[in-house]
Amino acid sequence: MIFSVIQYRIVLSFMTRFWAAFKDQLIEEAAVGDIGAAIRHAIEPNILFKWQIGSFELIFSDVIVVSWIVMVFIFVVAWLAGRRREKIPSHVGQLLSESLVNLLLNLCQNSGMTYDQAERVVPFVGTIGLFITFTNLSSLFKIPPPAKNPAFPIALALLTIIYVIATSIRLVGLRGFWASLVFPKAMLLPFRILDFIIKPMSLALRLFGNVFGAYILMEFIYIIIPVLIPGVVGLWFDLADGILQGAIFTYLTIMYIGEIVEGAHEAEHEHQIRQSAHI
């Protein structure tokens, strides 16, 4: 009986000291201070180093460094996945890469492209999708995602809309591209031109808004509740949302090209019907 009482007192003393230490640590971790200053520091571009070339100064921020690291990573993964190709895939790299390519090919064909046209589009849309996804996932390692800087999504959106126009002309020709702008009525031309201004703005704002909002929210949670909660919430905002934004950007790029290709085909079909009627 005496032995049991001694054991109980030892355990009680240990638990009391443990909870006191845990409370002190939790209070220390949750000491937020100036929340606004902490969040402002988190979203400001982090200048890593500068390079002076004559009268010009090149500034290398975390956005540039993360972007180049991701590009190198994608190149290495692509090389490893494709260096040992087999008619019947037996290793995981080829299986995953072929599954991704087939998925994109089917998506392109469902948007109105032929198989040959889809084969021309898949390399770009697949690369841009992986690039956005992996740059977004950098937040898993507490590295600020490049898309929180407005210049990053704006540059990607402008590059993408230029690619959409150039590739559409390659696929359907200048005549087909023009036909897609004025079909079925020529009065739609100003709105179609305006559409090419709105589309990159939409791509950029969607990517920036989602990534920036998720990053700010996660930084706020890390400051206010640094224990347990950030890991759970981060499964969506750091992982799932990052992948989702890459998938949405890829999907919209394919749809933009598909709209032009399908419009050109419909215009050509309408032209052939009219010619047949005249004959």
- Of 97, 102, 101, 69, which Cα lies nearest the Cα of 81? 97
Per-chain mean pLDDT for the chain: 81
Judging by beta carbons within 10 Å of its beta carbon (0-12, 13-18, 19+), is residue 47 exposed, middle or buried? exposed
Judging by beta carbons within 10 Å of its beta carbon (0-12, 13-18, 19+), is residue 200 exposed, middle or buried? buried
What is the rounded average pLDDT of the residues 56-85? 85
pLDDT greater than 90 at residue 78: no
pLDDT value of residue 196: 93
Q: For 112, left (φ over 0), alpha (ψ -120 to 50), or beta? A: left
pLDDT greater than 60 at residue 119: yes
Domain chopping of the chain, boundaries:
104-278
Going along 25-124, which residue ranges are E strands?
Answer: 47-53, 56-61
pLDDT greater than 50 at residue 83: yes
Higher model confidence: residue 61 or residue 227? Answer: 61
Rounded Cα gap, residues 109 and 128, in angstroms: 19
pLDDT value of residue 271: 73
Task: Find out whether 94 and 86 touch, Cβ atoms under 8 Å.
Answer: yes
Quote the tokens at residue 191. Answer: 């709105």
pLDDT greater than 50 at residue 100: yes
pLDDT greater than 60 at residue 35: no
pLDDT value of residue 43: 63
pLDDT greater than 80 at residue 239: no
pLDDT value of residue 71: 93
pLDDT value of residue 44: 67
pLDDT value of residue 37: 63
Task: Find out whether 189 and 182 touch, Cβ atoms under 8 Å.
Answer: yes
Task: Find out whether 253 and 160 touch, Cβ atoms under 8 Å.
Answer: yes
Name the one residue in this structure whose structure tokens are 């750091």.
Answer: 238
Q: pLDDT tens, 127-158?
A: 999 999 999 988 888 788 888 888 899 999 99
The neighbour count for residue 55, using CB atoms within 10 Å, is 5
**Percentage of residues of the chain with pLDDT beyond 70:** 77
pLDDT value of residue 3: 45
Lowest mean pLDDT among 127-131, 196-200, 268-272: 268-272
Q: Please tell me which of 32-36, 125-129, 185-189 the model is most confident about, judged by mean pLDDT.
A: 125-129
Task: Find out whether 168 and 177 touch, Cβ atoms under 8 Å.
Answer: yes
pTM: 0.80
Rounded Cα gap, residues 123 and 265, in angstroms: 23
The amino acid that residue 120 corresponds to is R
What is the rounded average pLDDT of the residues 185-191? 88
Asked if the bond preceding 184 is cis, omega within 30° of 0, the reply is yes
Name the one residue in this structure whose structure tokens are 């799932």.
Answer: 240
pLDDT greater than 60 at residue 233: yes
